[in-house]
């Protein structure tokens, strides 16, 4: 049976991924790297991304995911790396599953400590168990107070064959040029490092720590500590508020593409698409592209959102005109006389930063990547 022509596809550049991973190693030569591959590796494909990074020249000490389902799936792939479960567990069954598969859960609440105390007291699990105890240093999303984290850490420390990491998460690391952000981050670090110091005294041993994700890796060397958790930077997007990925040496990993399926000439004064959100000021050559919000392209993208059109001889930048539909967008082909049906249109990626596109859609690259739907075909190179 003949396969249909791909109408929308995402090209995943695994070499670019590994270059971005290497950049993490350059920034954090003394830290162990736990790449974050939650949400299907930010929409890039967890299995393929984990395989590529496992085989890269940059040492990967483990992987981090958000959900237990992701952790179990990753464990089943057999890459042999530790798996950090960022959201932790909510009952005994989940914790027992973590311990059975050597998944390392985050402990971020007192109820989880109660569960851990009950399960670990049974003493039925062989080998070493590892927990990451999370302090709420100011983000107020997950984590225990300093006092609670201290008590929980010391409780878990009493169990044999149990390794512990103290962790937290930065709330404002993306904007260190802002004095308020800097002050908030300094306060977070002061509380976190203060707790580490006290725990080292109480435990009479070194306490390993983790604070930095992508933004901290790029802008705050003092947050690198023992473990770093790079996320969006691995996929070529900048976590920093005022710099795009290319400006910090990152390479785009995902290029989202589609095809021209219609070209028409629309007279001045006529409107394009639903609700007449764009009215042609002059006679306009309009291209219809076979991608829409049903594929994950953001409906919030406004008139003027950039795209690239690849003709047989050149690649030209143009823009969205008219509202995004479920299956189609319309773009301005004025001045691109050589554009033809079936020409490739790049929505973001190589030559067009997702960081730039996301601003036109009032969102962030993270969301662009994660919202790609199953209608989009993936190509790994």
- Cα distances (angstroms) measured from residue 354 to each of 157, 212, 233, 298, 368: 44, 23, 12, 12, 8
Two tokens, residue 129: 């168990």
Establish whether 38 is a catalytic residue: yes
- Give the active site residue among 38, 130, 293, 366: 38
- Between CA 308 and CA 319 the distance in angstroms is 8
Torsion over CA: 287, 293, 299, 305 (sign): negative
Establish whether 274 is a catalytic residue: yes
Q: Which residues are annotated as catalytic?
A: 38, 274
């Amino acid at each position: 049976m003949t396969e249909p022509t791909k109408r929308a596809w995402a090209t995943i550049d695994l070499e670019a991924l590994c270059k971005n991973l290497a950049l993490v190693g350059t920034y954090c030569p003394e830290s162990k790297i736990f790449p974050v591959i939650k949400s299907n590796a930010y929409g890039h494909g967890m299995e393929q991304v984990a395989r590529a990074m496992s085989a890269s020249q940059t040492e990967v000490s483990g992987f981090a995911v958000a959900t237990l389902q992701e952790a179990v799936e990753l464990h089943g792939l057999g890459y042999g790396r530790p798996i950090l479960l960022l959201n932790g567990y909510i009952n005994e069954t989940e914790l027992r599953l973590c311990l059975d598969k050597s998944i390392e859960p985050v402990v971020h609440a007192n109820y989880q400590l109660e569960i851990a105390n009950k399960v670990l007291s049974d003493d039925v699990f062989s080998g070493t168990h590892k927990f990451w105890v999370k302090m709420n240093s100011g983000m107020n999303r997950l984590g225990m107070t300093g006092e609670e984290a201290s008590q929980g850490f010391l409780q878990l420390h009493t169990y044999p064959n149990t390794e512990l990491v103290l962790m937290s998460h930065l709330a404002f690391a993306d904007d260190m040029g802002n004095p308020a952000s800097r002050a908030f981050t300094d306060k977070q670090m002061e509380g976190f490092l203060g707790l580490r110091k006290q725990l080292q005294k109480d435990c009479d041993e070194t306490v390993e720590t983790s604070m930095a994700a992508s933004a901290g890796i790029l802008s705050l060397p003092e947050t690198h500590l023992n473990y770093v958790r790079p996320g969006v930077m691995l996929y070529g997007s900048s976590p920093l508020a005022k710099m795009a990925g290319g400006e910090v040496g990152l390479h785009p990993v995902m290029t989202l593409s589609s095809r021209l399926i219609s070209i028409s000439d629309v007279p001045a004064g006529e409107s394009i698409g639903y609700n007449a959100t764009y009215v042609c000021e002059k006679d306009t050559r309009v291209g219809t592209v076979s991608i829409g919000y049903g594929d994950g392209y953001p409906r919030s993208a406004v008139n003027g959102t950039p795209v690239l059109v690849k003709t047989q001889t050149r690649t030209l930048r143009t823009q969205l005109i008219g509202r995004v539909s479920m299956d189609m967008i319309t773009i301005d082909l004025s001045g691109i006389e050589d554009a033809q049906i079936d020409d490739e249109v790049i929505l973001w990626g190589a030559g067009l930063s997702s960081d730039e596109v996301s601003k036109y859609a009032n969102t962030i690259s993270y969301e662009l990547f994660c919202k790609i739907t199953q209608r989009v075909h993936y190509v790994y190179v």
